[in-house]
Chain A
Amino acid sequence: MPTADDELARLRSLVGPSEVAYAQLDDDLRAASDQLREAVLVTGQLRGELTEMSVQLARARQDQDTMQRRRAMGPMAHLADLCREYWRDAVRPVAGRLVRRTGLRRG
């Protein structure tokens, strides 16, 4: 197992003849890494904003879809749609709570 000093000497021989060259290379590497990190974070900020906007787009699209669907509905279809909503929002949650409370689902 080579000692740490041996390894250090080997690395230094690879990068240049002087202590200054090695230190400069090390500084350059750190600076490059820092700059890359900054660039990655800026990209992430933009990516995050895209994610947020994609949610807003989904919101707009689904509302547009609902509006178009309702415009195309006749009165009976509209009534049926309202009944479905009432079932989903008012009846099913209460029934679900009752089922959970009585433990029927788990037997």
Chain B
Amino acid sequence: MPTFSVVTAVYDPRIDDLRACLDSVDRQTWDSWQHVVVDDASTDPAVGDLLDADRTPGRRVLRRGTNGGIVAAGSDAIDAATGDFVVLLDHDDVLVPEALERLSAAIEAADDPESVDVLYTDHDLLRPDGRTASPVYKPDWSPERLRNHNYITHLVAIRRTLLDEVDGYRTGFDGAQDHDLLLRVCERARAVVHLPEVLLHWRQSPASVATDTGLKPDAYDAGRRAVADHLARTGVDATVEPGSHDGIYRIRRTVVGTPTVSVVIPTGGSTGRVWGRTRAFVHDAVASLVAAPPGVCHLEFVIVLDEPANPVVERGLRTIAGESLVMVHYDRPFDFSDKINAGVAAASGEFVLLLNDDTELHTAGSIDEMVGLAQQADVGMVGAKLLYADGTLQHGGHVYNATISHAMLGWPGDHPGPNRLLAVERECSGVTAAAALLRRDVFDGVGGMSLELPRNYNDVDLSLRIRRAGYRVIWTPHACWWHFEGRSFEHPIDPAEVAVIERDWRDELRNDPYYNSNLAPGRTDWLELPWRSGAPPYELLPNGTRVWA
């Protein structure tokens, strides 16, 4: 049975908040704990009085002579920890009574308990009036997302031997010390386990990063440096900038070499009206890529055109794409998977971009963004953000949650999503083949698209086979296309295809590791199960002002 050392650095908290924090440790239903409290030279004498009066067995209080900041105080606390796992707890946060017991159970329930090096749980916010609000239901271990922002935060437990190995907190990262620490320990962790239960209440106050991330610019600069250091350690050539929203980082990867990307577009040469004008879809899909500022990658266009083909379509493509065009004439009955396979077989690039013909490039540089991600050896497929013609979100990654659909379908295209999930690169169970980039060797290695799925779910099956082969599937908001698929378009679903996908992936379609069991099944919009949404984070008065209850 594991033992836990809860470590808390204390500096001038509200006394009632500190008392609540200490009490929450005392009330743990799990006995094997140690609580190391380091007072970082608090100026409020009441803090010293409270800690002096504390006689709780298992609690060790250390005092620093001078204020050294969160990293110095936290490091002192970690040095004094003796448990198997170190649990990080802020001086005003509150553990639920079963927190340590549930962590222990999660370790024991793991496939190999000895390999569990990091555990994290869901958390919610604790309002000043004592109500809990805005629970954050996190995905399972998502390393790409951790680079983009500290989605783990608290509650987290780290095996002490691993903490010793990485030498604990680093100086110079105050404010982002936990993110920096998590990046370093997770680089070496054998297993990172997520426990989908709210086991910590994160106290909310107007001065806290938890409520208003814009208040601590120094912390975000430290976080940016932490991510940059992590990328350098892991061999990713990239720069890191502040992201589109507070608390997230924009990673710009350097594409290695000048790879060729084969853009594989199956098409019947159809036309349609978009924004009041008739367009030949495949012409505009290719033209938007040709017209974009050139990136690092060379583009080859492999067009799989249904026979009999309208000669105007091919002539137009030759005019638009010139020497970059490879035509594949497809004369068999419609089979999307077979067409994709035929296109990839004719492709010469080391990367293939599977692209629907009813698309138009939205963001220049999208292909380089995707290649930068796909050049990581363990990334098998990269998906893009797709927008309907009206700017609403069509694809934000797949969700397999007793349904197969797209995350946050129909939300505003620029919405950051719950816990910023639409603003960050992150692992997904799958991505749509309407715009997906793969290394050619990955596509070939998993056997390409399944011919058992000629119309539907072929991208779901491909994604799951890629993941089963040990690769990650990543969705990025920094690669974006318009997708002129009709919002009301109903794909004809062949029951035989449903039977195939259910036969092969029954469990995976009901246990999406990047969703959360606290969220309602059958939905993909992060709606919580009944009674798990908590209070709102603040009261909003009719005149629009926020009141911190």
Indicate if the CB atoms of A52 and B411 lie closer than 8 Å: yes
Indicate if the CB atoms of A52 and B275 lie closer than 8 Å: no
- B392 interface neighbour in A44, A62, A63, A97, Cβ under 8 Å: A44
Complex interface: chain B residues within 8 A of A52 (CB): 411-412, 415
Indicate if the CB atoms of A45 and B109 lie closer than 8 Å: no
Q: B540 on the interface (CB 8 Å rule)? A: no
Indicate if the CB atoms of B277 and A33 lie closer than 8 Å: yes
Indicate if the CB atoms of A48 and B393 lie closer than 8 Å: yes
Complex interface: chain A residues within 8 A of B173 (CB): none
Indicate if the CB atoms of B527 and A47 lie closer than 8 Å: no
From B159-167, B184-192, B227-235, B528-536, the one touching the partner chain is B528-536
From B75-83, B113-121, B337-345, B383-391, the one touching the partner chain is B383-391
In the bound complex, what is the Cα–Cα distance between A37 and B390 (angstroms)? 8
The minimal Cβ–Cβ distance linking A41 to chain B, given in whole angstroms, is 5
Indicate if the CB atoms of A44 and B530 lie closer than 8 Å: no
- B533 interface neighbour in A29, A59, A96, Cβ under 8 Å: A59
- A105 interface neighbour in B109, B409, B507, B528, Cβ under 8 Å: B507
Number of interface residues of B (CB under 8 A): 28
In the bound complex, what is the Cα–Cα distance between A41 and B409 (angstroms)? 16
With contacts A40-B390, A94-B109, A101-B111 taken as known, whether A33 is within 8 angstroms of B530 at the C-beta atoms is no
Indicate if the CB atoms of B389 and A40 lie closer than 8 Å: yes
Number of interface residues of A (CB under 8 A): 31
Q: B45 on the interface (CB 8 Å rule)? A: no
With contacts A44-B388, A47-B410, A48-B410 taken as known, whether A33 is within 8 angstroms of B275 at the C-beta atoms is yes
With contacts A47-B410, A51-B392, A94-B109 taken as known, whether A59 is within 8 angstroms of B527 at the C-beta atoms is yes
In the bound complex, what is the Cα–Cα distance between A66 and B530 (angstroms)? 7
Other than A63-B530, A96-B511, give 19 A-B pairs with Cβ distance below 8 A. A36-B275, A40-B275, A40-B390, A41-B390, A43-B390, A44-B389, A44-B392, A47-B410, A48-B413, A49-B412, A51-B392, A52-B415, A62-B530, A63-B531, A67-B531, A93-B517, A97-B109, A100-B507, A101-B111
Interface residues of B (CB under 8 A from A): 109, 111, 197, 275-277, 388-393, 409-413, 415, 507, 511, 517, 525-528, 530-531, 533
A-B contact pairs, 28 of them (CB 8 A): A33-B277, A36-B275, A37-B275, A40-B275, A40-B389, A40-B390, A40-B391, A43-B390, A44-B389, A44-B391, A44-B413, A47-B392, A48-B391, A48-B411, A48-B412, A51-B525, A52-B411, A55-B525, A58-B527, A63-B530, A66-B530, A67-B531, A89-B197, A89-B517, A94-B109, A96-B511, A100-B507, A105-B507
